[in-house]
A = this chain, B = another copy of it.
Amino acid sequence: MTVERKVTVETEAGGGAHARKPRKDAARNRAALLAAADDLFARCASPEDVTMSDVAAAAGVGKGTLFRAFGDRTALIRALYAARLEPLERAVAEGPPPLGPGTPPLERVPALLDAVLCFKFDHRHLALALEGTGGDSPYRAEHYERWHALLRSALADLLDPPDADFTAHALLAAVRADLVEYVAGTHGTGREELRARLGEFVRRVLGTTGGT
């Protein structure tokens, strides 16, 4: 009876999870949705008041399409955030100093935090949307774990292991999007001034006293 080779075998077993090539309209719509969402988040005061329907409408597609493409609100925001973050992550993973690997920790840690701060500042709307996903903490996002691990390992040369772990958390907490937004928004503190303050703070944490 020939078992019906209907398989759709998918080559999945090997572990490669490559989605088997999306249809053209699907790809186009996905891109349009990302663009529309980015635009809306940038334009609106609070992430709360850009609804999923808004995004779909702005992209010129139906709501069903939006949810089919991304699953849910959180996933949409994560996808958007990840797309914007990718250049920075590449620079950290394989770029030149002071961000890339092979940089001495005392130099790399401040550079990493400065880079994160700049990113959060320049993409506040996305970062706020991501961190304010309501559900629960932003700490659930796996990219947080990556940054934490990176920072911790860089700090490992300078501190005791348990301290390195907590310090990494604490330093990342200093560049959380809502804090950045608050300081920048309320006090009118500008980008460069914020960078200077953070730099000084990090220097103090690392015990680097001034120096040339």
Contacts and interface: CB of A to CB of B under 8 A. Distances in A.
Contact of A135 (B46, B182, B187, B197): B46
Nearest to A193: B162
Contact of A169 (B138, B162, B166, B179): B179
Contacts of A166: 183, 194, 197-198, 200-201
Nearest to A183: B169
Interface stretch (A17-25, A86-94, A170-178): A170-178
Interface string A149-187: 000000000000011011101100110101101110011
Number of copies: 2
A204 interface: yes
B197 A205 contact: no
Interface of A: 46, 48, 128, 132, 134-139, 162-163, 165-167, 169-170, 173-174, 176, 178-179, 181-183, 186-187, 193-194, 197-198, 200-201, 204-205, 207
24 contacts: A46-B135, A46-B136, A128-B136, A132-B136, A137-B181, A138-B178, A139-B178, A139-B179, A139-B186, A162-B193, A162-B197, A165-B197, A166-B200, A169-B179, A169-B183, A170-B170, A170-B174, A170-B201, A173-B173, A173-B174, A174-B174, A201-B205, A204-B207, A207-B207
